[in-house]
Chain A
Amino acid sequence: MSNLNAQEEGKSADWVPAGDMQEEISLEEMLKLPRETIFMTGSEAARESIRRANVDMAIAYPITPQSETMQQAGYLYDEGYIKDYYRAEEEIGAFSAISGASRAGVRSLTATSGPGLMRGMEAISSWPGARTPIVMLDMCRVINTPLAIQPDNIEISFLLDTGMLVLHGENQQDFYDFPLAAFMVSEEVDVTLPCTVAVDGFFVTHARGNVSIVDRKYKLPARDGWKSAVPAMDNENPPARLSRDAPIQKSNFISYHMHSSWQQEVFSAVERSAKYFDKYLGGLIEVVNPGADEMIIASGAAVSQAREAVRQEGEKGNKVGLIKVKTIRPWPRQQIIDAAKHAKTILVPEFNHAGWLHKEVCTTLYGHSEATIYNGPRVFGGMTMPTEMILDWLAEIRNKTGSKNLFV
């Protein structure tokens, strides 16, 4: 059912979807508007973002800690801010269906957490190649045994090489701002890719923070299904011949070349998205205390702990720098090289065991920095990272009293 059939779902004949009364403005214009600051949860911040995103279709499937957000999206559908919405059978179904919706040319939203992301991974990994603009909110959660619902962002590492755009929000404000940018950038013609907006579950989704938002009477411009690298499959324009020609499906030199050139194009499109994120997010990275000898490079909720560590060190007269990485894909390689080139010590605090951000930072700075890049600090399995942990690492590094692990 959709708003097209609202009366069958109990709406009166004179019901007007709330979305129809909103005024379309560009994201550039929206970013200039005055904002009201409200104390709200991350899920509520995402709801307010979706309310203003002119979403055509949202497909939900419950999983903690994501459920809260997509049931909020359900209320938005009921109010008429979203045109179609349903609860899917599970994640493969949800993510396959949302790819169908995107292929049909409508603005498409879904969301998940940890194990749900893993379940739907086959569908997700086919989105970029199908050139389907989709926004997927990802509220990170432990994925491996023993089962837990707690925050741990290991799942982001599985998305890094899919060809998806990946943003990692720090707090409730980012969970309002990032999805709006994600919709706009994913639908740019020279991008035409799905985008994940990840946040750390519970810390962001269920905790409250101040969020500055624009008036709800505004919404983003509607998606134009034909303004796309691979136009909508709607029989109103010639279809893309992707996976139509038999040679592509067989093992021969044509198929190898088709696949390799197609993948190259997907990953080039990821790079091309950088200029748009730069514009909408005010840079792919944020730098605090540039030029400091000691730098912390972080993404997600770890940025907040790092900010506090930077503040406390500042009170003690120590200048510690911070690089907040907003876009994991596109990866802000040059920006990080430039921002970290003076550093002698680099810490990479993370909320996962694998240290995927640490690996990215090491790969980026190899040959471009004299700094020692420490392998942590890290918490995982749902723990929060006390600011003291970052401060202790800094102290041990300065005093050369660190444990063996610290200096790996």
Chain B
Amino acid sequence: MSLDTVKPSPGFLEHLPIEYKDLIEHGPYGEQKKVTDMGKFKELVEEHPMCAGCAMGLFIRLVFIGLPKPEHTVMVGTAGCGRLAISQGNIPFVYGNYGDTNAVATGIKRGLELRFPEQDKDVVVMCGDGGLVDIGFQGLMHSWFRHEKFTTIMLDNETYGNTGGQESGMTQKGQIMKMSPRGKKDDKMDMMGLAEVANLDYVARITPTNPSRVVRTVRRAVMVAREFGATFIQAYTSCNIEYSIPTPDVMQDAFDMEKKNYGFEEKISDRAKAFLDEIEKKDKKKKKK
């Protein structure tokens, strides 16, 4: 049914731009696409106004590919660089007030569950480190402790990129930024640890170095959230402007960070693991067929 909402009346189809026709005919609706298929299907977000070489732009593209059911997904974001790209995606997007993402997502998820008990409707919060761990911290924590059934994806560029490079809770200790002129005094906030304390069923830390892994991680997080409750992905998506990373070196920086302090990590509860094993087995069977 939802795919129908993007389909124009037959008489209008010929007047629409090629990009829109491609979206309908070759979009990712109804079947999970793979990274290896990129270029062969119409992605939900392609053009965006992110800075040249921005790792966040790449990561967001991959997230959209990883969504298991984009035609039934609502995204929630807040102020920050990420929303510039997310809002260009062909998925309903709430650009809310500062730091309100996880509360808004709570209401949307519960409301959709009431209206469509038989239809999985996924809600995904995707926004920056400042939006989640500083201004949105309280809402984030409480959505975790309430085990709300949606995924939170943190686009961690370790700064407030959109407002011009101020220190955030996720900035590394000692880093000189705007508003930390003598270097950040405190440690980077341990959100992976807090997620563990909140007893989340699926938590992952990742960089965009391995696109297939990003897509798989997003799919897992959304599927587990649908079934059990809150899930979390902490993704390193560098700010090449504020950290002065030359554009050609952005991916090398991601590899370096991965080695240094941002290694891939997944923490999956036993019940979530059993659940994922089951659905991934089914996926493999499908592929063989």
Contact = CB atoms under 8 A, between A and B. Distances in A.
A200 B6 CA distance: 48
Interface string A211-226: 0000000000000010
B175 interface: no
Given A101-B110, A235-B74, A237-B5, A123 B100 contact: yes
Contacts of B76: 100
Nearest to A104: B111
B116 interface: yes
Contact of A4 (B74, B88, B105, B113): B113
A90 to B, nearest CB: 7
Residue from the set A102, A122, A123, A236 with the largest chain B CB neighbour count within 10 Å:
A236
B139 A234 contact: no
A169 interface: no
Interface in A72-96: 83-84, 86, 88-90, 92-94, 96
B108 A100 contact: yes
A98 to B, nearest CB: 6
Interface in A268-289: none
Nearest to A90: B138
Residue from the set A86, A96, A101, A244 with the largest chain B CB neighbour count within 10 Å:
A96
A102 B138 contact: no
Contacts of B108: 100-101, 103-104, 233
Given A93-B103, A246-B87, A56 B73 contact: no
Contacts of A238: 5-6
A249 interface: yes
A254 to B, nearest CB: 15
B9 interface: no
A357 B162 CA distance: 42
A89 B139 contact: yes
Interface string A1-38: 01010000000000000000000000000000000000
A53 to B, nearest CB: 15
B289 interface: no
B95 interface: yes
A335 interface: no
Interface in B121-173: 121, 138-139, 141-142, 146
A145 to B, nearest CB: 23
Contact of B74 (A59, A83, A233): A233
Interface string B84-124: 10011000111111111001111111111111110001000
B104 A99 contact: yes
Contact of A106 (B72, B87, B92, B111): B111
A: contact size bracket:
35 or more
Given A105-B111, A243-B95, A96 B100 contact: yes
A7 B152 CA distance: 28
Interface string A122-143: 1100100000000000000000
Interface in A224-266: 225, 232-239, 243-246, 249
A100 B106 contact: yes
Contact of A96 (B2, B5, B73, B104): B104
B260 to A, nearest CB: 35
A1 to B, nearest CB: 9
Contacts of B73: 235
A296 interface: no
Nearest to A84: B110
Contact of B107 (A4, A59, A90, A122): A59
A100 B143 CA distance: 13
Nearest to B135: A92
B95 A89 contact: no
Interface in B26-78: 49, 71-74, 76
A397 interface: no
B1 interface: yes
A391 interface: no
A236 B5 contact: yes
A131 to B, nearest CB: 13
B139 A93 contact: yes
Nearest to B93: A244
Given A2-B113, A106-B111, A243-B95, A235 B72 contact: yes
Nearest to B5: A238
Contact of A100 (B88, B93, B111, B121): B111
A302 interface: no
A236 B1 contact: yes
A57 interface: yes
Contacts of B117: 4
23 contacts: A2-B110, A4-B114, A57-B107, A57-B114, A83-B114, A96-B107, A97-B104, A99-B96, A102-B111, A103-B108, A105-B111, A106-B114, A108-B111, A123-B97, A126-B97, A233-B92, A233-B94, A233-B108, A234-B74, A234-B112, A234-B115, A234-B116, A249-B95
- Which 4 pairs from chain A and chain B are nearest by CB? A100-B107, A104-B111, A96-B103, A101-B107
Given A94-B103, A235-B2, 17 more contacts: A2-B110, A4-B113, A89-B103, A89-B139, A89-B142, A92-B103, A92-B139, A96-B96, A97-B104, A99-B96, A100-B107, A100-B111, A101-B111, A104-B112, A233-B108, A235-B71, A249-B87
